[in-house]
């Protein structure tokens, strides 16, 4: 399965649109969003323009908009909102995702997950913990403070890549 991991999109529809074009072209089947989506309208935009499943969690900038985002997710068949921490199992791999780096580190160190995705820092980052868990920050899709980036993971071959939006 091909998965795209995004975070910190901050309502940047032009960047989301470009990313979705890449996702369609590359046959992405699932999106994991690690928070700071920033509005219910952006949730609806993602849902309406992506055919696969979307899994998302709240970020710190979503705090004032939690009710709006929750309401936007209600009735969207392809969108699942988890709250602050999401957990999935895909093809035998245990995956957790959240927004804050400290939470991600705690999840990774628990030994329960193969992959933990997170956001918040707007800096793409990958590291493997001593227990073998990979911590991955896809950066900021919005391009705030750093270039716009995201991650792609193919569960079939285990390939995990960080992508720069302007280069796709």
pLDDT by position in tens, the chain (length 168): 999 999 999 999 999 999 999 999 999 999 999 999 999 999 999 999 999 999 999 999 999 999 999 999 998 999 999 999 999 999 999 999 999 999 999 999 999 999 999 999 999 999 999 999 999 999 999 999 999 999 999 999 999 999 999 999
Q: Is the pTM of this model over 0.75?
A: yes
Q: What is the pLDDT of residue 86?
A: 98
Q: What's the confidence (pLDDT) of residue 160?
A: 94
Tokens of residue 69, six digits? 């985002």
Phi-psi region of 38 (alpha: psi -120 to 50; beta: other; left: phi over 0): left
Helix residue ranges, H only, 55-163: 66-73, 101-109
Pair of tokens at residue 78: 């392809």
CA atoms within 13 A on the CB side of 81: 24
pLDDT at 153 (0 to 100) = 97
Q: Is 75 exposed, middle or buried (0-12, 13-18, 19+ CB in 10 A)?
A: exposed
Q: What are the sequence ranges of the domains in the chain? A: 2-167
Long-range contacts made by residues 64-72, C-beta under 8 angstroms, separation at least 24? 65/38, 65/39, 65/40, 68/39, 68/40, 69/37, 69/39, 69/40, 69/43, 71/40, 72/39, 72/40, 72/41, 72/43, 72/44
d(CA 54, CA 120): 19
Q: In this predicted structure, what is the pLDDT of residue 131?
A: 97
Question: What is the CATH code of the structural domain delimited by 2-167?
Answer: 3.60.21.10
């Amino acid at each position: 399965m091909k998965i795209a991991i995004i975070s910190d999109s901050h309502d940047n529809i032009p960047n989301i649109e470009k990313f979705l074009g890449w996702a369609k072209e590359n046959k992405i089947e699932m999106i994991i969003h690690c928070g700071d989506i920033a509005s219910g309208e952006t949730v609806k935009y993602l849902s309406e323009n992506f055919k696969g499943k979307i899994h998302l969690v709240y970020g710190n900038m979503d705090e004032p908009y939690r009710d709006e985002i929750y309401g936007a997710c209600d009735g969207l068949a392809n969108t699942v909102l988890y709250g602050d921490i999401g957990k999935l199992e895909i093809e035998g791999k245990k995956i957790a995702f959240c927004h804050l780096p400290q939470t991600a580190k705690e999840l990774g160190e628990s030994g329960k997950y193969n992959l933990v995705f997170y956001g918040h820092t707007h800096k793409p980052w990958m590291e493997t913990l001593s227990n073998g868990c990979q911590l991955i920050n896809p950066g900021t899709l919005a391009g705030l403070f750093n270039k716009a980036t995201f991650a792609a993971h193919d569960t079939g071959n285990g390939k995990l890549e960080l992508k720069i939006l302007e280069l796709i």
